[in-house]
Protein backbone atom coordinates (compact mmCIF):
# COMPACT_ATOMS: atom_id res chain seq x y z
CA UNK A 1 0.00 0.00 0.00
CA UNK A 2 1.40 3.37 -1.03
CA UNK A 3 0.93 5.88 1.77
CA UNK A 4 2.44 8.74 -0.23
CA UNK A 5 -0.12 10.67 -2.22
CA UNK A 6 0.73 13.55 -4.46
CA UNK A 7 -1.69 16.40 -4.35
CA UNK A 8 -1.70 19.06 -6.99
CA UNK A 9 -1.76 22.77 -6.22
CA UNK A 10 -3.09 25.57 -8.42
CA UNK A 11 0.03 25.76 -10.58
CA UNK A 12 -0.28 22.06 -11.37
CA UNK A 13 2.85 21.07 -9.46
CA UNK A 14 3.01 18.42 -6.80
CA UNK A 15 2.61 19.80 -3.30
CA UNK A 16 5.89 20.06 -1.49
CA UNK A 17 7.87 20.69 -4.65
CA UNK A 18 9.27 24.09 -5.44
CA UNK A 19 6.66 26.59 -6.49
CA UNK A 20 7.95 29.64 -8.36
CA UNK A 21 8.30 32.59 -5.99
CA UNK A 22 8.02 30.53 -2.83
CA UNK A 23 11.39 28.78 -2.86
CA UNK A 24 13.39 31.99 -2.72
CA UNK A 25 11.35 33.18 0.26
CA UNK A 26 11.81 29.87 2.03
CA UNK A 27 15.55 29.85 1.42
CA UNK A 28 15.89 33.43 2.72
CA UNK A 29 13.82 32.62 5.80
CA UNK A 30 15.84 29.46 6.47
CA UNK A 31 19.10 31.38 6.04
CA UNK A 32 17.96 34.07 8.50
CA UNK A 33 16.95 31.45 11.08
CA UNK A 34 20.31 29.69 10.72
CA UNK A 35 22.19 32.94 11.21
CA UNK A 36 20.23 33.84 14.31
CA UNK A 37 20.25 30.33 15.70
CA UNK A 38 23.96 29.75 15.28
CA UNK A 39 25.06 32.75 17.31
CA UNK A 40 26.18 32.01 20.78
CA UNK A 41 25.45 33.85 23.97
CA UNK A 42 28.76 35.59 23.44
CA UNK A 43 28.67 36.90 19.92
CA UNK A 44 32.19 38.33 19.94
CA UNK A 45 35.51 36.77 19.04
CA UNK A 46 37.03 35.31 22.21
CA UNK A 47 40.54 35.27 20.72
CA UNK A 48 40.39 38.99 20.01
CA UNK A 49 39.12 39.53 23.54
CA UNK A 50 42.04 37.54 24.95
CA UNK A 51 44.57 39.63 23.01
CA UNK A 52 42.96 42.95 23.91
CA UNK A 53 42.36 42.06 27.54
CA UNK A 54 45.96 40.87 27.88
CA UNK A 55 47.05 44.25 26.54
CA UNK A 56 44.83 45.92 29.13
CA UNK A 57 46.25 43.58 31.79
CA UNK A 58 49.82 44.61 30.94
CA UNK A 59 48.95 48.31 30.89
CA UNK A 60 48.81 48.72 27.13
CA UNK A 61 45.84 49.96 25.19
CA UNK A 62 44.64 48.49 21.95
CA UNK A 63 42.87 51.72 21.17
CA UNK A 64 39.64 51.80 19.22
CA UNK A 65 40.37 48.38 17.71
CA UNK A 66 39.98 46.77 21.12
CA UNK A 67 36.86 48.57 22.31
CA UNK A 68 34.45 45.99 20.91
CA UNK A 69 36.53 43.07 22.20
CA UNK A 70 36.70 44.57 25.68
CA UNK A 71 32.99 45.34 25.55
CA UNK A 72 32.28 41.72 24.58
CA UNK A 73 34.14 40.58 27.70
CA UNK A 74 32.68 43.13 30.11
CA UNK A 75 29.14 42.67 28.77
CA UNK A 76 29.10 39.16 30.23
CA UNK A 77 27.13 39.59 33.44
CA UNK A 78 25.30 36.89 35.39
CA UNK A 79 22.35 38.36 37.24
CA UNK A 80 19.80 36.99 39.65
CA UNK A 81 16.85 39.08 40.72
CA UNK A 82 18.52 42.10 39.11
CA UNK A 83 21.72 41.75 41.14
CA UNK A 84 25.04 40.85 39.57
CA UNK A 85 26.45 37.56 40.83
CA UNK A 86 30.17 38.32 40.61
CA UNK A 87 31.52 34.81 41.13
CA UNK A 88 29.25 33.38 38.41
CA UNK A 89 30.09 36.37 36.19
CA UNK A 90 33.80 35.66 36.62
CA UNK A 91 33.23 32.00 35.77
CA UNK A 92 31.24 32.89 32.64
CA UNK A 93 33.92 35.37 31.57
CA UNK A 94 36.62 32.74 32.13
CA UNK A 95 34.67 30.25 30.02
CA UNK A 96 34.39 32.87 27.27
CA UNK A 97 38.14 33.52 27.26
CA UNK A 98 38.89 29.78 27.35
CA UNK A 99 36.70 29.24 24.27
CA UNK A 100 39.59 30.63 22.21
CA UNK A 101 41.41 27.47 21.14
CA UNK A 102 44.84 29.12 20.88
CA UNK A 103 44.77 30.94 24.19
CA UNK A 104 47.12 29.94 26.99
CA UNK A 105 44.85 29.26 29.95
CA UNK A 106 47.40 30.58 32.43
CA UNK A 107 47.13 33.99 30.74
CA UNK A 108 43.34 33.87 30.54
CA UNK A 109 43.29 33.04 34.25
CA UNK A 110 45.48 36.06 35.03
CA UNK A 111 43.23 38.29 32.93
CA UNK A 112 40.15 36.97 34.66
CA UNK A 113 41.70 37.24 38.12
CA UNK A 114 42.15 40.96 37.51
CA UNK A 115 39.00 41.81 35.51
CA UNK A 116 36.56 38.95 36.13
CA UNK A 117 34.72 40.60 39.00
CA UNK A 118 34.78 44.23 37.88
CA UNK A 119 32.42 46.29 35.81
CA UNK A 120 33.94 47.41 32.51
pLDDT reported for residue 28: 43
**DSSP letter string over 2-47?**
------B-TTSPBTTS--TTHHHHHHHHHHHHHHHHH--SS-S-HH
What average pLDDT does the segment 45-60 reach?
A: 95
**69 in Cβ contact with 52 (< 8 Å):** yes
User: Domains of the chain: which residue ranges?
Assistant: 1-39, 46-115
pLDDT-derived band at 73 (thresholds 50, 70, 90) equals: very high
More confident residue, 12 or 45: 45
pLDDT-derived band at 107 (thresholds 50, 70, 90) equals: very high
pLDDT reported for residue 25: 52
Is 84 in a helix, a strand, or coil?
strand
Amino acid sequence: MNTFRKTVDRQGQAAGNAVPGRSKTRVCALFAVCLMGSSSAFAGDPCKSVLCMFGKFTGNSGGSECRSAEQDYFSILVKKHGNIKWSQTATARQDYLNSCPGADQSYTQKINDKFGKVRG
